[in-house]
Homo-oligomer: A and B are copies of this chain.
Amino acid sequence: MKKFVNDPQQFVAEMLKGIALANPGTLKYVPEYNLIMRSDAPSDDKVSIVQGSGSGHEPAHVMIVGKGMLDAACPGDVFAAPPMDYVLETSKLLNSAKGVLHIINNYTGDRMAFDMGREMAEADGVTIGTLIVDDDVAVKDSTYTVGRRGVAGNFFVIKAVGAASERGADLDELLRIGNKVNSVTRTMGMALTSCTPPAKGSPLFELGEDEMEMGVGIHGEPGRRREKLASANAIVDELLEAVVSDLPFSQGDEVALMINGLGGTPISELYLLYGYAHEQLTKRGINVRRNYVGEYCTSLDMAGTSITLSRLDDEITELLAAPAQVAIRTF
């Protein structure tokens, strides 16, 4: 798979520079820490919300910094956790009288970096709360995880706490909301193709022309099993069954349904998947009240998708519907 790249070592830095140049009034770029932050952050009226993780999952997380979402993101290199000093310096720069909230997708490398960064920042007087997202039902423990992985469901957690933080919610309230959203959110993904990290220049793993990886992780790590390539509807059936039966979601539930593209799948195909998923949920008596079709958490140029369901109550629905303003396209 060919890519737009100059020096692979500068891939992340050049992307971050582009984000900053495209958002001159609202975002600030601090190259020393791969840091993209709101120009108007921190504010003592608001908890600062920070996420790190590896790069290669865009728009997560550097492209969802903005009003009503993240206050800052400090990614590592492609598929690599941010160094702990990025976490430390970001936490200090974003320090607010109301504290700082770290949101971590459950991957061992990210947790280590954030645990150590947090400890050091706390020693410097920063008050920090931590939310762990672990929405992926595919596997219990995995190549890079103890416990379930955190993937696209992360978006719902960030959207909800981002909205609440704009209204002045304190750290405890954000932890309550974030943990609640995470507890009712479930995801499973699958890959049609591998992905190619810029520094490697070749696919991360091999997948035959008639194969797909069911339950794939967002770094190409193995999922539940490799299967014969199936029809779009059969793929949706398998992903939905895994997600619905896990919480479980049941008749009468109101949900947000996300069809997430993994980077190389065109939006036409995502809407085709959405139509069938929506119909199948309706048949189960599960009511799709909000929908999200597009790229939210990708794996570079991987062709594939993940399906996320989040069970709604009035509080979550209202927070998801609140306005937000981020780097990626708005008309």
- Chain A positions within 8 Å of B, measured between CB atoms, are 1-6, 11, 14-22, 55-56, 58-59, 63, 68-69, 159, 192-193, 209, 212, 229, 231-233, 235, 263-276, 278-279, 291-295, 298, 300-301, 303, 305, 323-326, 328-331
CA distance A271 to B14 in the complex (A): 8
Task: For A18, give its contact among B20, B263, B273 (CB under 8 Å).
Answer: B273
Contacts of A15 in B (CB 8 A): 268-269, 271-272, 275
The answer to whether A301 touches B300 (Cβ under 8 A) is no
Contacts of A264 in B (CB 8 A): 264, 266, 301, 303
Contacts of A4 in B (CB 8 A): 192, 232, 235, 265, 269-270, 272-273, 305
Nearest 8 A/B pairs, CB to CB: A18-B275, A18-B271, A324-B331, A2-B192, A4-B232, A4-B269, A18-B274, A17-B275
Contacts of A329 in B (CB 8 A): 292-294, 328-329
The answer to whether A22 touches B278 (Cβ under 8 A) is yes
The answer to whether B330 touches A274 (Cβ under 8 A) is no
Known: A5-B232, A329-B292. A21 touches B274 (CB 8 A): yes
The answer to whether B63 touches A21 (Cβ under 8 A) is no
CA distance A267 to B300 in the complex (A): 9
* Residue of A69, A295, A325, A331 with most chain B CB atoms under a 10 A cut-off: A331
Query: Which label, helix, strand, loop or mixed, suits the secondary structure of the A interface?
Result: mixed
* Residue of A5, A14, A298 with most chain B CB atoms under a 10 A cut-off: A14
The answer to whether A267 touches B59 (Cβ under 8 A) is yes
The answer to whether B192 touches A6 (Cβ under 8 A) is no
Known: A4-B265, A265-B301, A331-B159. A22 touches B291 (CB 8 A): yes
CA distance A5 to B209 in the complex (A): 15
Task: For A278, give its contact among B18, B263, B291 (CB under 8 Å).
Answer: B18
Minimum CB–CB distance from A157 to chain B (whole Å) comes to: 14
Minimum CB–CB distance from A233 to chain B (whole Å) comes to: 5
The answer to whether A58 touches B233 (Cβ under 8 A) is no
CA distance A294 to B298 in the complex (A): 14
Known: A269-B5, A301-B264. A278 touches B331 (CB 8 A): no
Please list 16 pairs of residues, one from A and one from B, whose beta carbons are closer than 8 Å in the complex, sorted by A's number.
A1-B193, A2-B193, A2-B229, A4-B235, A11-B268, A14-B276, A15-B269, A15-B275, A21-B278, A22-B278, A58-B267, A159-B331, A264-B264, A293-B329, A294-B328, A326-B331
- What residue of chain B has the Cβ atom nearest to residue A195's Cβ? B266
Minimum CB–CB distance from A302 to chain B (whole Å) comes to: 9
- What residue of chain B has the Cβ atom nearest to residue A271's Cβ? B18
